Each structure stands twice: as C-alpha cells, then as structure tokens.
C-alpha cells in the first residue's frame, strides 16, 4: 500500500542565520570564517549574494549533529569564476561545528545522500528521509534562493525495499518544481544508483526585466 504524506516546510531566510542554539551559532560563525578564507583565492573578489540556513524539521531530525547552508552567487549579468570549493549554488554542511563539507550540485548531493542515508527501515523514516533530501536538493536547484511550497511525499513498499518520492514547487514567479526519488534496501541504506533528483526549476529574471 502506498502512503502519501504532506509535510510542512520552513521557508529559508537570507542572511547569516543561527538556529537559536549553541551548535547553530558556532556553525554559522565557522561557515563565515571558512567562506572568507576560501574567497581569498577567488580570481575576482566577490561575495555571496545570499547565505541561507536550511531550517527544516526533517533535516534536523535526520542530521541532528549537522547544520546546512545554501551559499549563492549572482550569475547576472556575468557569472563569476569561483574557487574550486564553490559552485554558484553550493550546499555547505557544517558537522558538529567542527568540520565543513561543501556539496556542489546534484552529483555532490547524490554522493552525500548515498553515504549519509542509513537505518531507514520503515515508511515513516523513509518519508522523513525523502523530505530532508528534497529540502537539501532545493538548496542546489536553479531556484534555490526562493522558497518552496509544502512537499508531497509518497512512500511505498516494493518487496523488501522501500521507495520514497518527494516533490515541491517553487512558490514565486512560476519557477517550476523539483523531485527526489530514493530507494532503501533491507539493510536500511539508500541505493546509490536509485537516487534521482529532477530539477525542473529556473532562475527568476532579474528585477525590472
């Protein structure tokens, strides 16, 4: 039987955001210091257009020791050349306010999810994993700086495996939608080859255009 869940998401807010706890405060400070150091090697001196904390219950439930941030650079009128650690849309993981792992684009996120998603053995946890993965995928989408709506999450059993799909639409400018599909084996781990991210979003046109 298929289980369909609607999960309420918290919209991201631009600027340097803490999570209201010591770990969030330390993580934000560590991220800013890391970004300052990385940007010293940039061919052209630019600063991020936005830094957005990924504040979502499903993400914090699945990764309680981690904090995630979307780091974005303007690409109009000309996309700047960036250091190798960064893309124009980068998801940055701060682990226990001790280490930083930049996650560049969909391929980087798929690799991270393949390693991080484990012990997913029931439909409820699969739904939470799909929702968290979707929120992280939104951060590296082309519409990543814009809020997304409430996700639709579908979970189904297929023999010994659990299939989970989460989808949400950008809520401004008709910017499209993004979908994440996951499959978990009997061992509770995500199957790397079955992780799919479909980004059908687009950037909003510059103001006044």
Q: What's the pLDDT score for residue 66?
A: 96
pLDDT beyond 60 at 7? no
pLDDT tier for residue 3 given thresholds of 50, 70 and 90: very low
pLDDT beyond 50 at 208? no
Among the residue ranges 14-28, 42-56, 89-103, the one predicted with the least confidence is: 14-28
Q: What's the pLDDT score for residue 41?
A: 87
pLDDT beyond 50 at 17? no
What would the mean pLDDT of 148-154 be, rounded to a whole number? 95
Annotated domain spans of the chain: 2-199
What are the tokens at 163?
Answer: 């299939």
Q: Give the start-end residues of each E strand in the chain.
A: 2-6, 50-53, 66-72, 89-95, 99-104, 152-158, 161-169, 177-184, 196-199
Residue pair 86/105 in contact (Cβ under 8 Å)? The answer is no
pTM of the model: 0.85
pLDDT beyond 80 at 179? yes
């Amino acid at each position: 039987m298929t289980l369909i869940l609607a999960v309420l998401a918290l919209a991201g807010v631009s600027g340097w955001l803490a999570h209201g706890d010591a770990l969030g405060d330390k993580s934000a400070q560590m991220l800013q210091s890391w970004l300052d150091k990385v940007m010293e090697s940039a061919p052209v001196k630019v600063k991020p257009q936005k830094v957005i904390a990924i504040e979502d219950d499903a993400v914090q439930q699945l990764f309680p020791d981690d904090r995630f941030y979307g780091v974005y650079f303007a690409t109009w009128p000309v996309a700047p050349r960036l250091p190798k650690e960064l893309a124009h849309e980068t998801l940055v993981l701060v682990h226990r306010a001790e280490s930083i792992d930049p996650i560049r684009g969909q391929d980087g996120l798929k690799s991270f999810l393949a390693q991080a998603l484990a012990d997913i053995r029931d439909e409820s946890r699969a739904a939470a994993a799909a929702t968290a993965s979707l929120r992280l995928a939104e951060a590296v989408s082309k519409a990543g700086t814009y809020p997304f709506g409430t996700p639709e999450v579908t979970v189904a059993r297929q023999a010994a495996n659990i299939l989970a799909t989460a989808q949400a639409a950008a809520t401004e400018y008709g910017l499209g939608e993004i979908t994440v599909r996951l499959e978990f084996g009997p061992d509770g781990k995500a199957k790397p080859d079955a992780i799919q991210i479909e980004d059908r979003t687009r950037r909003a046109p510059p103001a006044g255009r």
